[in-house]
Amino acid sequence: MIALEPGAAGAFMARLGPRIDTTFGRPRAIVVMSPHTATRVPCVLGGARHETVHDFGGFPPALYEVVYDAPGEPELARRVAALLAEHDAATQLSPQGGLDHGIWTTLMHMYPHREGAPAIPVVPVSLTPNSSPAHLMDLGRALAPLRNEGVLVMGTGSLTHNLRRFFTRPAPVDAPEHADCAAFRAWVHARTQASDWAALLDYRNQAPHALEMHPTDDHWLPLYFAAGAGVKAGETTPAAAVRLHASVTHGHMAMDAYGFGEDAALLAEA
């Protein structure tokens, strides 16, 4: 629903795109991992065009009318697949296209289509939900060289994601934050500030209320892919992690956003 009801997180995304453009230059392409395109092995969607995929049900009709199609970049997709294959030999390249809602609901705010302005090409990379956080960070690290080539590498999801609680314990959008959500968010913020990746990679065992905040890992795991892309050559973990945005709706649905790498702080808002 963030497509129709942007709220604080959508407003942040709308500011983030222009801030990236001003700070680093407009990306020539975007490589993105979303929890909603999941496969057993890493798969890169190399289609020349990506249509909007409405991969959900039971929402207001207006949501199915939202269209955010985007060009692909097959040549870049081939390079992405080759780089990922260095860390996972099973990586596949697909000629198919399509943007799941984890991608287009984000990009429509960051980079809305405007008449006369060319759309930024997108290369989706599937999530392998059975992979360890360390393996997903390795995949992101394989794509770190793209940062110097004008390519934005990102992951989408939610800092917390418990739909069972959302539906069984409904709360208004502006409900006070639940204590377990606050504790989990504070832990993530503290561990990222301290660059404690040993703890972050073991979040299931070390983060407070990890199971409550993420009954399944899918909406959390893309964080490691994005973090890996922020690793400098010769290093194993990101030099820095900066919280760029923090907001919570319905008491426990957190949409905190993080930037990774030595220049991430340039995107922080005052």
- Residue 239, pLDDT score: 75
Rounded alpha-carbon distances, angstroms, from residue 256 to 84, 93, 99, 164:
27, 31, 22, 20
Average pLDDT, the chain: 93
- Which residues are CB-contacts of 103 (< 8 A; sequence separation ≥ 6)? 32, 34, 36, 37, 122, 124, 156
Domain extents for the chain?
7-267
Q: Are 119 and 16 in contact (CB under 8 A)?
A: no
pLDDT at 77 over 70: yes
- Residue 99, pLDDT score: 97
CATH number of 7-267: 3.40.830.10
- Residue 211, pLDDT score: 96
Q: Which helix (H) or strand (E) holds 244?
A: strand 241-245
What is the model's pTM?
Answer: 0.94
Q: Which two tokens stand for residue 89?
A: 């030999």
- Residue 270, pLDDT score: 61
Q: Give the mean model confidence (pLDDT) for residues 165-192.
A: 92
pLDDT at 229 over 90: yes
